[in-house]
Amino acid sequence: MINEDTIYLLRECNAGTQMAVYSIGEILENVKDQKLREILISSKNHHEQLGNELHILLQKYGDTTKDPGVIAKGMSWIKTNAKLAIDDSDRVCADLITDGCHMGTKTMQRHINQYLAADREARGKAEELIRMEELLACELKPFL
């Protein structure tokens, strides 16, 4: 039998991937630089792929996915649109996504620490998500 910590951690991972896909999608229409666009599209695809894997795992355990919180999505939308209304440069786009990466990394590490009894596979998926966020933040540095 699968323990609750495993389910909770997988749900949080799934919500994190959905938030990343949403945030990148919001930014993409404002990106002008082709290299930056390619980095973001690639990361979005990787997040979608991980999200699909998480969805399959949750189904296997008889559970459903968790959507990102309405407040989190709303605050992201407000911050993104407010900053882009003032300056819609690629630098601002990279800055917004970098902030999201840092928030995602911090949040996922908090969940790993919170759900200590989660199984190795769930912990591995959470760590994979953290690595994806850290990599994206590094790839965006030249655009800041």
| pLDDT surpassing 80 at residue 84 | no
| pLDDT surpassing 90 at residue 78 | no
Pairwise CA distance, residues 37 & 29, whole Å: 9
pLDDT class of 74 with cuts at 50, 70, 90:
confident
Give the residue numbers spanning the domain of 39: 4-143
pLDDT class of 1 with cuts at 50, 70, 90:
low
Burial of 82: CB neighbours in 10 Å, binned 0-12, 13-18, 19+: exposed
State the total domains in the chain: 1
Under a CB-based contact definition with an 8 Å cutoff, are residues 97 and 139 in contact? no
pLDDT tens figures, 92-108: 999 999 999 999 999 99
Pairwise CA distance, residues 42 & 70, whole Å: 25
3: its two tokens: 């323990």
pLDDT tens figures, 5-42: 999 999 999 999 999 999 999 999 999 999 999 999 99
Angle, CA 123 vertex, CA 111 and CA 125 arms, to 5°: 100
The CATH code of the domain that includes 109 is 1.20.1260.10
pLDDT tens figures, 33-42: 999 999 999 9
